[in-house]
Structure 1
Amino acid sequence: MDPSKNQITQLLRESSRTGKLPDLPSRDRQPLTIDQVTSFAPAKVFKGLVKQPRRDPRSAEEPPLNEITSICFSDSGDLCTVAGEDDYFTTYDVKTGKKHKYFASQKYGVDHITATHHTGNVLHASTKGNHDVRYHSAHDNVYLKYFKGHKEKVCSISMSPVNSTFLTGSFDETVLYWDLRSDRAIGKLKNMDGHCLTAWDGTGKIFAVAIPRKQIISLYSVDAFDKKPFAWVTIDDPGLDRIANPRPPIFMTSLEFSNNGKYILVGCATNAHYVLEAFTLQIVARLEGHVPLGFERKGVTRSGAEICWTPDSRYVLAGDKDGKVCIWDLNPKTGNADLVPPIQPLPYEPGPRRPATTLPTLNVMNEKREAGESARVVKFNPRYAMFASAGADAALWLPRKDAPAEDEDTNIG
């Protein structure tokens, strides 16, 4: 065993013994290994985290369970904030696994919780009243700003990785460009012909916009925000012909660039997620083996936060309808990597796209529901080798093989 593997082994043993989180390897260290990824287990499970609706005595039906809808981590990786359908959001110290602060947003609702670069400050969408994006300070428990401009529900918030600007997409068929220092939008894309999903690349100079209704993904330069996209593609997967004829649509629910900037992860509500080459927008991999969350729950799309990259750009994690957490191995090298066999990046060719490579899951976790009954949300920590999953309950996962999950009843009434 080489020294680097010895260091990783010692790191995992120390994590299991002390309960402290191992640092995520940086670009000058080893990336996450298959052994690490396949040994993840829930180290802390939070039961009763979300308040449940009371049953109407006049109805014979049980109301659907409230669930957590979004999770974010601070840049430092020390704080994890979860937001739920009960109109509350809670911040946890991930090193101790203890509740840090707890906030109510019953007047506005809360969704698409997004960390800013100021520790403890988050953005979130409103679910009732109006469609403002709200900027909250955990330190003072106050809203610092209301970003007004959208006329319908906000379905995407993306913080720039390099500065205080962010993007929002909405069902009003617009994308707005904001700066935390101003409550007025500094840019606008309009008449997008459908609700919009957004994502930044790692440089903060390029962003992607997806229009699920049209199955279109476009790339824009932030320096030419009001100009036409410099690249676009209609997402089409011939592999879906084996499911139905005519070919079923691809319903996109999320976008995320890999940290190495080479790929775009496209989360979908249907039977496959996709990995696109970021420069040509070619589909290079189809991710299968999960049970899709589906289209509607309480009148809203269920999926959208259930899939993410690991920070080393090698693995993809996703939750599914049955509560499992699935992992796919994209098998690039460390750092500035390309996908290697059996996945072949497809050269750009006009006209119909060639079939993508189908990847089965590397591992499936939570089959015994030790981390809760559902996995509607999955998010990897940007700093530590850990991730969070959530549905009606939430869990923090560590790469520890033998440590049993520690349950904590966090019922709030």
Structure 2
Amino acid sequence: MKLTDEVFRSFRVSKVFRENTDRVNCLDFSANGDQMIASSNDDSIVIYCCLEGRPKRTLYSKKYGCDLLQYTHAPNAIVYSSNKVDDTIRYLSLHDNKFLRYFPGHTKRVVALMMCPINDSFLSGSLDRTIRLWDLRSPNCQGLMHLNGRPVTSFDPEGLIFAAGIESRQLKLYDLRTFDKGPFATFRVRQDHPNCE
């Protein structure tokens, strides 16, 4: 099906979920699309079965809160950032609701979190003006980049390149294998965009 404006206009809400008592702050789908997970400012993590269109389980992170979350390559494990206590990223088993590992290092709120599509690496960006590269198998940061502003980050679909955006002014592309040598391409973002209506 080609997604045209007409097709989008024909879409209707088929189901509304009301498991959360506060704002939902992040959503992610498992790699196979069977599950979706949602985190909320009410400290809940709700797992939804996409095949049956129903909530499957609710977990709570009352002590640490939960903000950004990403499925790992295992459909029963996630990484997520905290919005209480500290800025540590947590690796959680959804099967038994136990932490598998902690990733400390950021000193301010994490604002970007992205799993690599091909291996157990992931990126995090923080208001402390850093992007960190992690491996799920180690609590130690594998790479650290200091930036001049608030970062956003993402991997390409092959997991070989990642992008770092800084304060909506620059976009830098890095080869994951040699990111410590700096970006191989830098783009300036134009600030004179016409307002969307």
Q: 1:39–1:120: structure 2 CA closer, same or farther, 3 Å change rule?
A: farther
Structure 1 SS opposite 2:16:
strand
Greater C-alpha radius of gyration: 1
Partners of 1:135 and 1:36 lie apart in 2 by: 39
- Residues paired across the two proteins, number: 196
Local SS of the residue matching 1:162: coil
- Deviation for aligned residue 1:39: 2.8
Preserved CA contact (<8 Å) 1:199 1:207: yes
Corresponding residue SS for 1:226: helix
Contact in 2 for aligned 1:125/1:134 (Cα 8 Å): yes
- RMSD of equivalent CA atoms: 1.5
| Contact 1:70–1:112 under 8 Å retained in 2 | yes
Identity in percent? 34
Deviations along 1:222-246, one digit per CA (max 9) or x if unpaired, are: 0112121111122114344xxxxxx
Residue number in structure 2 paired with 1:197: 152
Contact 1:153 1:170 in 2 (8 A): yes
Residues of 2 paired with 1:169 and 1:78: CA distance?
A: 28
**2:84 pairs with 112, 128, 131, which one?**
128
Mapping 1:159-198, distance limit 5 Å: 159-190=115-146, 192-198=147-153
Structure 1 gap ranges (5+): 1-30, 52-65, 241-270, 272-287, 290-413
> Structure 2 stretches of 5 or more lacking a match?
none
Taking the aligned partners of 1:237 and 1:100, their CA distance within structure 2 comes to 44
What SS does structure 1 have at the residue aligned with 2:181?
coil
Amino acid at match of 2:20: V
- State how far apart, in whole Å, the 2-side matches of 1:189 and 1:114 are: 21
Say if 1:79 and 1:120, in contact at 8 Å, map to a contact too: no
Aligned pairs for 1:9-408 (under 5 A) are 32-34=2-4, 36-47=7-18, 49-51=19-21, 66-190=22-146, 192-212=147-167, 215-240=169-194, 271=195, 288-289=196-197
Given that 2:103 and 2:140 are in contact with CA atoms closer than 8 Å, whether structure 1 keeps it comes out as yes
| AA at the equivalent of 2:99 | Y
Greater relative contact order (Cα < 8 A, sep 6+) = 1
Which amino acid counterpart does residue 121 of structure 2 have in structure 1?
Answer: T
Amino acid corresponding to residue 35 of structure 2 in structure 1? L
Give yes or no for contact 1:137–1:144 (8 Å, CA) kept in 2. Answer: yes
Residue-by-residue CA offset, 1:211-267 (whole Å, 9 max, x unaligned): 11x611111110112121111122114344xxxxxxxxxxxxxxxxxxxxxxxxxxx
The 3 A distance-change label for structure 1 pair 223 and 81 is same
User: Once the two structures are superposed, what CA deviation does each residue of 1:322-344 show, in whole Å capped at 9, x if it has no partner?
Assistant: xxxxxxxxxxxxxxxxxxxxxxx
TM-score by length of 1: 0.46
Alignment TM-score, normalising by the size of structure 2? 0.93
